[in-house]
Amino acid sequence: MPDLPEFVAFVAEKSGIRKPSLIERDVLIHRILKELNSAFGDAYLFKGGSSLVKCYFGYYRFSVDLDFTWRRQEVWENLGKKSLRRELVEQAERFGSALERIAHDMELDFRCDLKNRNYVEFGSGSRMVTFKLWKGSELIKIQVNFVEKLLFPPRNVVAKTLLAGREISDDEKAYFREFLEFYHPVKVSAYSLEEILCEKIRAILTRQAMKLRDIYDMFMIKKAGVKIELKEEILEKIRFAMRFKKYRIALKASMETLNLESILEDPAEMEMFVIKPEEKFYSFVGELESFLKEITREVLKM
């Protein structure tokens, strides 16, 4: 019976990628994605960097966490503050309970204890929840936005693995059957590229620490033919976040210190990349920075 390190070595050999710790992480989050999809169907929309890698562009980089948004935003309409919070907590408990069962089967440390911040952390007035699964000292974050401004129709896509397009013999399929039962393509409902782009720009402007991966994700989206100049949609996303103090503070800080070039050579971020960033990316950074400054000027007028 093969163990996880042996399967990771198998995936590394098939994919030609020699980053075992990141491959192991990908195997784990793909299983979580598959199990959550089985539990909830299309009730949650897959989004963020992991969706770009798995559903749209392939493994140009690794993503180590999972992000989702609750699909049926209309259910929160017309609820008072107390009723909304109660409903959000109940929904978080349902999600967390499913996650606890998944974690138990995977021998990961997680308890659906909504009062224990080692496992569950609420943010933005319970509208966003971060679930924290542990493999030893290694943290796997599953972040869910229960309340969000959705501007584009979701897409039905396929979340792929590092083995996509690789030839696997019948003997290998039989030997690694236990792992291949979950490490295979999964049909999911996900954000469109336009929705991801708008949230990525909002994240850059409202997050206290900018990340190279977010900048490169936007380069990949533009390369796919999506225009980054979705100004009105981006401003609508930012307006939605500006109701919360921590985002207002972070946005003000980013207005004063916006400098994308300062994060381009972060070694920890570069380790996440499977392929070296393209030369065209570096000229895109200047273009993006100009656009972000334009957006911040518009935000100041709000």
Task: Write down the pLDDT at residue 208.
Answer: 62
Task: Write down the pLDDT at residue 256.
Answer: 63
pTM: 0.93
- CA torsion, points 79, 82, 88, 92, in degrees to nearest 10? -160
Rounded Cα–Cα distance for residues 147 and 149 (Å): 7
pLDDT at 302 over 70: no
- 220-235 pLDDT, tens digit per residue, is 999 999 988 788 998 8
Q: How confident is the model at residue 206 (pLDDT cuts 50, 70, 90)?
A: confident
Domain map (residue ranges) of the chain: 1-191, 193-302
Strands 128-135 and 120-123: antiparallel
Q: What is the mean pLDDT of the chain?
A: 92
Rounded Cα–Cα distance for residues 236 and 153 (Å): 16
Q: How confident is the model at residue 296 (pLDDT cuts 50, 70, 90)?
A: confident
- 158-194 pLDDT, tens digit per residue, is 999 999 999 999 999 999 999 999 999 999 999 999 9
Cα–Cα nearest to 160, from 180, 189, 126, 186: 186
Q: How confident is the model at residue 257 (pLDDT cuts 50, 70, 90)?
A: low
Q: How confident is the model at residue 292 (pLDDT cuts 50, 70, 90)?
A: confident
Rounded Cα–Cα distance for residues 291 and 21 (Å): 36
pLDDT at 23 over 90: yes
